[in-house]
Amino acid sequence: MRWSSNPRSGGVLRPSSVAALLLLSALFLSSAADEKRIAIYSAAANYSLPVSERDGRDYVGVLEVLEPLGTVGAKTEASRWKLRYNSVESEFTAGQTRARIAGVDLDLPSKFLLENGRGLVPLSSLTTLLPRFLGGPVVFHETSRRLFIGNVAVHFTAQVSKTNPPTLVMDFTSPVNPMIATEPGKLRMVFSHEPLVPPGSQTLTFDSKTIPSATYQESNGAAEITVAGSVPLLASFGNDGRTITIAPAPRGAAPVPAQPAGLQAGNSVPSLQLQPGISAPAASLNGPVPYFAVVDASHGGDERGAALSDQLAEKDVTLAFAHRLKQELESRGLTTLLLRDGDTTLSLDQRAILVNKAHVAIYICVHATSLGNGVRVYTVLLPASEESRGPFLDWETAQSGFRAASEMAGTSLAAELQKNQIPVRSLVAPLRPLNNITAAAVAIEVAPPAAGGIPELNSPEYQQLVVSSVAAGVVAVRDQLGAGR
């Protein structure tokens, strides 16, 4: 029998040290939160990408930048890297600053880098490169790494009412869904997914002693509005997310903790509910809760998964699907952690520990297969095991308190896939690490489409169709999943 705080059965320490893994998970999550990112806003999708530092300069993968915006393909020929976006051909040379796009030469501010078939361009070159590909201008806030493609900006106004108590009413030109945190003397709203642009002045002052000012700032791909208050403040949403009203918190309600409070996604009042028989660590109540979902690209590194064809390994297909699913979820306002962002090996226990540490609402594991067609949605078939005791959950059956949420999510995913004419089958299976996850947990196994063979698993159109359906399925039950956290 295994316990969530103990090593695996038989007295054998597996993984070698749970403490080491917890440390690893903490480092992993903190590094994920601190890593440099660029946010890209467009009419097609809002998404963010990691920024790599090379020789003191910021670089980004140009294929990843263009991928959500159209059809892209890349080819490496020795040191030359050819990229096609829709009908625009381009050519870059590793170690050179000269590039050619649509038959026109241009110079990059620093050399082009080619790493494992991935083309990296200096961040500052995007304002020159992208208009050549997209045929229109872009606006780049370089210090905060926020890139606006086309006329997508969201503007806002802020006004304090003269009522008693006074309230700050903020009107936005499009629906917003910021992460909200309350601290003594201020309320912070972080807009990671919205193309919010600054008002005329970075600091807004109001004729009110209760809410004297609000400041706007941008950093690391996000915009942030901080509202100062002489009393604890609460935020509420209205007008389909276009209006945020900030008012003093009623006395006795929602006490402001001494330490920074938890972030809330699109909801001003914390609504954490503990599942029966589960002891939530203190961190889930008071620590940051940055992610709504975890997307897990199964396999990776030494573990290739199924050999889908001579050239196609399951681990590569799942990673491509997972990247798209993350972008799709984030474009719908759901903060998402990608558990495996490269070709790395993660054990099933490590995955479960990382997910449980993140306190997310839903875990989605992506698999791929050459058998059959369409998508199979799995929830867990729990193994025969001992019961949980006291505050400790049995590691093997940690999912037991979340089965209803998992089934609800699985049903919603299947319904959305069916709506999009994708053959779908809902099944239960004894599948790790679903049984170890303390959140709603589903796995999807993506097979080729009914019309088309195994290579279709790699087609951007098919991948997008599947991930859009899955994301729509998650969004349809987001409130129920969020309430269960």
Partner 1 sequence: MIPRHLIITVALMLAVVLGMSVYVWRMRGRVAPSEPATDARPVAPPVSGPTEQVTLYVAYDDPGVLRAQSARIPLPAGRQERAQELLRALLGLYLDKSSPHPLGGGAEILEVYLVDPGLAVIDTNATFADSHRSGILVEELTVASLVETLSANIPGITRVKILVNGKERDTLAGHADLADFYDVSAMGQMVSQLQ
DSSP 13: -
By CB under 8 A, tell whether 430 contacts partner 1.
yes
Candidates 90, 182, 369, 388: give the one binding partner 1 (CB under 8 A).
Answer: 369
Applying CB under 8 A, among 111, 146, 332, 376 the residue interacting with partner 1 is: 376
Name the pairing type of β-strands 46-50 and 88-93.
unpaired
34 CB contacts (<8 Å, ≥6 apart)? none
Tokens of 421: 């004419």
Select from 463, 412, 410, 416 the least CA-distant residue to 434.
410
Among 396, 399, 412, 482, contact with partner 1 (rule: CB under 8 A):
396
Q: Which tokens go with 321?
A: 């699907």
Q: Which is nearer to partner 1, 161 or 426 (CB)?
A: 426
Residue 341: half-sphere exposure toward Cβ, Cα within 13 Å: 15
Q: What is the 8-class DSSP label of residue 332?
A: T
- Smallest gap, in angstroms, from Cβ of residue 383 to partner 1? 3
The count of other CB atoms within 10 Å of the CB of residue 245 is 17
Binding test (CB under 8 A) with partner 1, winner from 193, 359, 432, 485: 432
Window 281 to 320, contacts with partner 1 (CB under 8 A): 299, 303, 305-307, 314
* 314 burial type by CB count under 10 A (0-12 exposed, 13-18 middle, 19+ buried): buried
- For residue 394, state whether it binds partner 1 (rule: CB under 8 A): no
∠ CA 170-174-177 to the nearest 5 degrees?
A: 70
At 110, list the tokens.
């620093």
Task: In whole angstroms, give the CA distance from residue 234 to residue 120.
Answer: 43
Of the two residues 88 and 348, which places its CB atom closer to partner 1 in the complex? 348
CB of 445 to partner 1, least distance (A): 5
Among 169, 278, 285, 382, binds partner 1 (CB under 8 A): 382
Among positions 356, 388, 435, 438, the unique one binding partner 1 when judged by CB under 8 A = 435
Considering only residues 69, 247, 431, 437, which one is a binding residue for partner 1 as defined by CB under 8 A? Answer: 431
- In the sheet that holds 168-172, the strands lie side by side as 156-160, 168-172, 243-248, 233-238
From the list 182-190, 240-248, 283-291, 362-370, the region that binds partner 1 by CB under 8 A is 362-370
Per CB under 8 A, the list member of 76, 385, 464, 480 interacting with partner 1 is: 385
Cβ count near 260 (within 10 Å):
14
Q: Which stretch binds partner 1 (CB under 8 A): 182-190, 218-226, 277-285, 429-437?
A: 429-437
Q: How far is the CB of 368 from partner 1 (least distance, A)?
A: 9
Q: Does residue 427 belong to the site contacting partner 1 (CB under 8 A)?
A: yes
Site for partner 1 in 7-46 (CB under 8 A): 8
Which residue's CB is nearer to partner 1, number 210 or number 369?
369
| Residue 426 found at the interface with partner 1 (CB under 8 A) | yes
**Torsion region of 374: left, alpha or beta (phi above 0 gives left; psi -120 to 50 gives alpha):** left
The Cβ of residue 87 has, within 10 Å, a number of other Cβ atoms equal to 8
Is 370 one of the binding residues for partner 1 (CB under 8 A)?
Answer: yes
Contacts of 385 (CB under 8 A, 6+ apart): 1, 2, 394, 396, 397
Of the residues 250, 383, 391, 452, which one makes contact with partner 1 according to CB under 8 A:
383
* Contact status: 340 vs partner 1 (CB under 8 A): no
# of chain residues touching partner 1 (CB under 8 A): 32
Using the rule CB under 8 A, which residue among 253, 258, 282, 384 binds partner 1?
A: 384
Q: In terms of CB distance, is 315 or 326 closer to partner 1?
A: 315
Query: In which order are the strands placed within the sheet that holds 46-50?
Result: 46-50, 37-41, 146-149, 138-141
Residue 445 found at the interface with partner 1 (CB under 8 A): yes
Contact footprint for partner 1 (CB under 8 A): 8, 299, 303, 305-307, 314, 348, 367, 369-372, 376, 378, 381-385, 396, 425-432, 435, 443, 445
